[in-house]
Amino acid sequence: MIPELSETEFELFRTLLQNKTGILLKTAKRQTLGRRLARRLEALGMSSYTAYYRMLKAGKGHEELRTLINHVTIDQTSFFRAGPQFEILARQVIPDVVEKNSGLKQIRIWSAGCSRGHEPYSLEMMMQETMRELVAWDVKFLATDIDSDSLKYAFRGKYTADEMAPVPEEYVPKYFKPLRHSGRRFHVVRDRLRKNILFRRLNLLEVPYPIKGPMDIILCRNVMIYFSRTQKQQIMGEFLRLLPVGGYLCLGASESLIGIDDRFALIGHAVYQKKSA
Ligand SMILES: C[S@@+](CC[C@H](N)C(=O)[O-])C[C@H]1O[C@@H](n2cnc3c(N)ncnc32)[C@H](O)[C@@H]1O
């Protein structure tokens, strides 16, 4: 029987996870973390949190640390999350990018912290629906996350009926194939969406990123909420490097750049535009 996670042990894991992912777990999360750790201990046939901690800290604990991060990251997401932001993207941002890039006919978008794929797939559907001429363009998405399980889920693109609820009815047959599995109904993303997205594991706290850019739009929504001011500033430094002047950054509805970076101008609903280098 694995004992309850003590306060001291919680602090050890909390600091380790914060250093590695930027996520600072609230004290109230002690039991939740305890349950998740206990599951890992069971899977590994271990009975002590401290021994597990030591293993994570040792060089050979690298793979296990990834597994633990996958268990701890909060991956809440949904299709067309933050509707008003999608409206600004459809009405203002995408038309502006299309006009600016009409020579090259190329668009590059990065979904940083894409979780299980709902975010990049939603944006791609919206773009194909609102700007029909893009069929003939070179539009590519990079979708990254620290959680490799989420990335696998995103690549598979197999969604439950509940997950599909926010997808407009008329989009469903166009962009998804129905699938029955063990008596349950799913929808699987069609290749016409998936083929334009490159899914990769990337920890936003490990700067500089192995990405050359430039990007026309970066979405980093509901990811930085747990990060410190310094960490946010480092991430912004990388986003500024990858965005040209006039490029766009979308944050989560409750996030802002006030006091973090003044080289972005707010357009509305947490959509920012880079105004200077
Ligand atoms: C709440 S979800 C947001 C998903 C999506 N952007 C949205 O708004 O619906 C936060 C995501 O950030 C990822 N994440 C947390 N820390 C990260 C880090 N250091 N680097 C990259 N991704 C991270 C988590 O794995 C999770 O998938």
Atom 13 (ligand 1): residue with closest C-alpha? Answer: 113
Q: What is the pLDDT of residue 247?
A: 98
Q: Is 145 a catalytic residue?
A: yes
pLDDT per position as a tens digit, 231-249? 999 999 999 999 999 999 9
At residue 137 the predicted structure's pLDDT band, cuts being 50, 70 and 90, is: very high
Structure-token pair, residue 102: 């009409």
pLDDT per position as a tens digit, 248-261? 999 998 888 988 88
Candidate of 17, 65, 73 to mutate for ligand 1, largest count of ligand atoms within 8 Å of Cβ: 73
Atom 3 (ligand 1): residue with closest C-alpha? Answer: 222
Helix 30-44 to helix 7-21 angle, to the nearest 10 degrees?
A: 90
* pLDDT over 70 percentage in the chain: 100
Length of the chain: 277
At residue 49 the predicted structure's pLDDT band, cuts being 50, 70 and 90, is: very high
* CB burial readout 259-273, b (16+ within 10 A) else e: ebbebbeebebbbbb
Contact 157, 120 (CB under 8 A): no
Q: What is the pLDDT of residue 167?
A: 96
162 Cβ contact list (under 8 Å, min separation 6): none
pTM of the model as a whole: 0.88
Mean pLDDT of 127-140: 95
Mean pLDDT of 115-124: 97
Atom of ligand 1 nearest to the CA of 205: 19
Domains and CATH numbers, the chain: 7-72 (1.10.155.10), 83-274 (3.40.50.150)
Residue the block writes with tokens 């430039």: 214
Whether the CB of 205 sits within 6 Å of ligand 1: yes
Contact 103, 134 (CB under 8 A): no
Structure-token pair, residue 62: 């690298």
Q: Is the predicted pLDDT of residue 1 greater than 80, yes or no?
A: no
Residue 145 CA, ligand 1 centroid: distance in Å: 6
